[in-house]
Amino acid sequence: MSSEPKPAPQGTYVFDGATSRLGYRMNKLFMTLRDASAREEFLADEAAYCDRFGLPAEQKRAVLDRDWQAMLDLGGSIFYIYKLAMMDGRSMQYLGGVFTGMSEEEFVAAMRAGGRTDG
């Protein structure tokens, strides 16, 4: 049995141990947004809230700019990123569109038509 990781299919995001470690602080911040008081504190001063969790500059910029793809690329878990997206009134289908280069409407239509057909 090999300990070498298997390559992910092209266009597939793999959230593995290394990715989890990379995004740990950012995902921890996102998890706090389950609580109303944390959401209020975050909205009052988003930059300070990011600093409280020690986010590296790149992650902080992604959060403040709502750069959803960068958050994912920097170790964010889609399930945790979604907590922030919900605060902005965004749906999971919206994020699906962002991550696949589609509009929200196109993404919904693709899912209703049976999902991805690219392999």
The closest of 64, 85, 81 to 73, measured between CA atoms, is 81
pTM score, whole prediction: 0.84
Residues of the chain with pLDDT under 70: 1-12, 116-119
Q: How many CB atoms lie within 10 A of CB 87?
A: 14
The answer to whether the CB of 25 falls within 8 A of the CB of 8 is no
Q: What's the Cα-to-Cα distance from 78 to each of 44, 66, 75, 115, rounded to whole Å?
A: 24, 13, 9, 18
Supply φ then ψ for residue 53, to 5 degrees. -95, 0
Which domains are delineated in the chain? Answer: 17-88 (1.10.700.10), 89-119 (no CATH)
pLDDT of residue 5: 63
